[in-house]
Structures are given as structure tokens and as C-alpha cells.
Amino acid sequence: MSTLKIILICPAARPAVAALAIKQPLVLAPFAGLSVMEHALHQLAADGAKEITILASDRPEAIRAAAGRGEQWGVKLQVVAADGEPDPAAVRQAQPPGAGAADVCTLERLPQLPDHPLWESYEAWFAAQVALLPESAEKLLGMREIAPEVYAGLRSQVAGDARLQGPCWIGAGVRIGAGAVIGPEVVIGDGSFVDDGAEVAHSVVAPQTYVGAHTELRHSFAQGNALLSLRSGSRTTITDRFLLGDLASGGRTAAEAGPGEKTGGGIRGLLDRGRRILRRLVADPEVEAKSAPADGGPETPGTKNESRPVDD
């Protein structure tokens, strides 16, 4: 870095990954435990930046709320609303000449991952996350490596018979149910719940997302009840709360269902119905709800399947 001042331009729209910007600005999409913007600011501060100006045209108020004034990174920071995505060359020319000029860059790649473009495709965005997991685990408070290339945050609970295969990331306050299979290449955001018997591989589960019992999630991005295929870019909304749900919205998912709803023929019927719905909605199904075991499913808490806190 050649200067202590940085002007960081937030990408406004990238057609190849348009679905990432539906629920939040592109730079605030979930990314390896934080957001792209937060990872960038962390690295810029570590490289010596002291003053950072963020130019944002897409929902600048959300970016301002996430970035604050830069206190958490030890920098002076301001977010300036822009009318359309600024051209970097024009921003450079508008600066006064001299040694005090700022470096200008658009957040197309993270400074710590210069070989990983972020917005060329959903698969590129996902691959960059997987590449960053070990470094993120070292920097984020409370993350521990509980198995080879398996990183877990504070207050997370993993059932005793759940299978974890690295590389994978389990955020703070995550619950992994009995018999679940997680990994390889999985990022599960803070506060999410992966229910009994679910299987997640090569996927991102956004914070505060419920993944239903015996649901199979592969090559996908699940955010609340929205499901995105990382391969094809197809996106659908799952209305069945027993498959996917938004824990942050206060809506009632299968995670809060009563015993009568989650056992016996009731859950099997719902899962069979969910499987048919998903196969119809997703052109190349990356999610599948498997029928519950005939014996009623995994053992209940109090047996060898009882969850264990990972931060003990």
C-alpha cells in the first residue's frame, strides 16, 4: 500500500451475481463469517490504512450502518452516497495532486485474495470464501479448529454423531442436529440451525437460517427461505418451513414445531411433499428433502446423540 488514505468504491450491480444483492448490497452479502466489506476493511487496516472513504450507490445507509465510523478497525471512516457507481479513473483525477492523494480501488477482489475475483460468478464468490476460511478463523475472536480444517465459533453446539468434514466453517451460536453431515466446503453463518439428518456440502448457509431435518443441500446458497444454485444461478423461495426458514424474521419454522409435528407420519409426509416441490421448482435440484427413517429418525437427546458445545 502506497498511502495511508484509501477510497473504496462499492460495486453497485454485477449481473453475474445479481441474486446476492437482493437482500443486501453486494458488499454486505455473507462471506466467511463476515461480509466482503468487513473482510476488506480488516485487511486494509492491517496494511496500514488510516483514513478510508467508501463510495456507495446501492443502499449506502445499510453500508454506513455496517461500517460505522471505523472504530472496530482502528481507522477513520466515512461512507459517501454516490449517484451511480463511480468510475475509478474519474475519482483519481478529481483528487488534488500531491503526496496526500488516496489510493482508489473498486472492491472487485479482496486485498488478501488478489487471485480470486468475487463477482464473475456465484461459484467464484463461493470459491473465494473457501480459500479465506483458515485466515478468517485466525482473525475472528472465538473461532477454534475443532477438527482438521473444521472451524467453529462460540456457543455452537454439534450433536455427538454429526459428521464434520473440512474445510467447513460453523459460526457462533450454530446448532448442528443429530446425524447431520456437514462438509466439505461449507460455510454456516452465525445463529443458524441445521436440523437432524440434514446434509450440507459445497454450500453457504447464511446467518439465522434454518435447514430442515433430512434436507440435502449441495452447491447452493441458502438465505432464510431463499435458495440459490451456485452452478446455474436459479433462485427460488421455499415456502415450506420444514425445509428452509428465516430464524431472524420471527416466523415459526420446523425448529420450533411441537413434538406431534416433528415425529411419525407428519414429518415424513411433509418431507415427501417438500421433495416434490423442490424438484419441480429447481431446474437442476441442488436441494433434496429425503424421507425420514422408518424407525422415526435419529436418537433423541439424552442418548449418545446429545449435542456437545464445541467451546468447552
Per-residue pLDDT at 97 = 77
Per-residue pLDDT at 186 = 98
Could you tell me what percent of the chain has a pLDDT over 70?
Answer: 78
Average pLDDT rounded to a whole number, residues 28-56: 95
Average pLDDT rounded to a whole number, residues 61-84: 96
**120 pLDDT higher than 60:** yes
Mean pLDDT over each residue of the chain, to the nearest integer? 85
Per-residue pLDDT at 283 = 41
Higher pLDDT, 252 or 80: 80
Per-residue pLDDT at 247 = 94
Per-residue pLDDT at 99 = 60
Higher pLDDT, 262 or 85: 85
pTM of the complete model: 0.82
**172 pLDDT higher than 60:** yes
First to last CA, the chain: 40
Cβ 254 vs Cβ 212: under 8 Å: yes
Best CA proximity match to 172, nearest among 191, 195, 185: 191
148 conformational bin, left if phi > 0, alpha if psi -120 to 50, beta if neither: beta
Residue whose C-alpha cell is 439428518: 197
Per-residue pLDDT at 140 = 83
- How do residues 153-171 score in pLDDT, each as one tens digit? 999 999 999 999 999 999 9
What dihedral angle (degrees, nearest 10) is formed by the CA atoms of 208, 255, 281, 297?
A: 130
**281 pLDDT higher than 70:** no
> Band of the pLDDT at 96, cuts 50, 70, 90?
confident
Per-residue pLDDT at 293 = 39
Hey, where are the domains in the chain? 5-130, 141-309
**250 pLDDT higher than 70:** no
Per-residue pLDDT at 101 = 82
Among 100-104, 273-277, 307-311, where is mean pLDDT lowest?
Answer: 273-277
Per-residue pLDDT at 134 = 92
Cell of 231: 452452478
> Band of the pLDDT at 141, cuts 50, 70, 90?
confident
Cβ 186 vs Cβ 203: under 8 Å: yes
Could you tell me what percent of the chain has a pLDDT over 90?
Answer: 71
Average pLDDT rounded to a whole number, residues 236-246: 93
Best CA proximity match to 62, nearest among 86, 41, 88, 35: 35
> Band of the pLDDT at 249, cuts 50, 70, 90?
confident
In angstroms, the Cα distances linking 123 to 9, 23, 157, 164, 233 are: 23, 19, 29, 22, 9
- How do residues 173-209 score in pLDDT, each as one tens digit? 999 999 999 999 999 999 999 999 999 999 999 999 9
Average pLDDT rounded to a whole number, residues 273-290: 47
